[in-house]
């Protein structure tokens, strides 16, 4: 039984990942900006016989990340699997984007992935094993109309994943990215019908 952290786990892909790990007998920590929704999801996992807890955190905040990881480790021990899934979407034409839109996109996707990984990686390296899975997107490879900032953030995650994998794989830690296309989740439903 491993301890698995999943960010953005209150709904969509993150929730499905958390539920699957729980069904497989793992101890799951659901991390989400919406703490109440994450707790409801963790409660449903427990009702189904799984082992889960939830904590609210803005993963772009270093202190919030440190607290969330501490909660997880205090409850379930060392983190063995991290799934960086938290996401944010804001659709706009490039000329309508402002710096705040761009910065928020990178804060959630890139900074959040960096901070979460930085918080758990030292323990994984010390044990000589661990798994980090980063949620990228096909749009990080091909780009998306009215999603320049989202596409750029996902491309950054792909680059970070490749570089970190090369750095730590020889020390027993696997780092991979998954790049799905559109999936019927609240995040995708937030986009305009024309884009979907």
Kindly state the tokens that stand for 51.
């082992």
Question: Interior CA angle at 34 toward 32 and 35, to 5°?
Answer: 80
150 catalytically annotated:
yes
Q: Which helix (H) or strand (E) holds 42?
A: helix 35-47
Tell me which residue of 87, 83, 89, 113 sits closest to 101, measured CA to CA: 89
Alpha carbon distance 141, 183 (integer Å): 16
Tell me which residue of 34, 50, 13 sits closest to 42, measured CA to CA: 50
Catalytic residue among 150, 160, 168, 173: 150
- State the catalytic residues: 150
């Amino acid at each position: 039984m491993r301890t698995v952290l999943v960010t953005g786990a209150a709904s969509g892909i993150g929730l499905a990942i958390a539920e699957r790990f729980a069904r497989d007998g793992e101890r799951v920590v659901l991390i989400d900006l919406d703490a109440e929704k994450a707790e409801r999801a963790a409660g449903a996992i427990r009702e189904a016989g799984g082992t889960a807890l939830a904590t609210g955190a803005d993963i772009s905040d270093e202190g919030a990340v440190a607290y969330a990881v501490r909660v997880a480790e205090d409850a379930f021990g060392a983190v063995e699997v991290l799934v960086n899934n938290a996401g944010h979407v804001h659709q706009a034409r490039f000329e309508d984007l402002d710096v705040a839109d761009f910065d928020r996109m990178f804060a959630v996707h890139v900074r959040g992935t960096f901070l979460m990984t930085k918080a758990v990686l030292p323990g994984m390296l010390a044990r000589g094993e661990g798994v980090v899975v980063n949620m990228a997107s096909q749009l990080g490879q091909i780009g998306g109309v009215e999603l320049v900032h989202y596409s750029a953030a996902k491309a950054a995650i792909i680059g970070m994943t490749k570089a970190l994998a090369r750095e730590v794989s020889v020390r027993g830690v696997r780092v991979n990215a998954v790049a799905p296309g559109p999936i019927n989740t609240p995040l995708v439903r937030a986009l305009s019908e024309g884009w979907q």
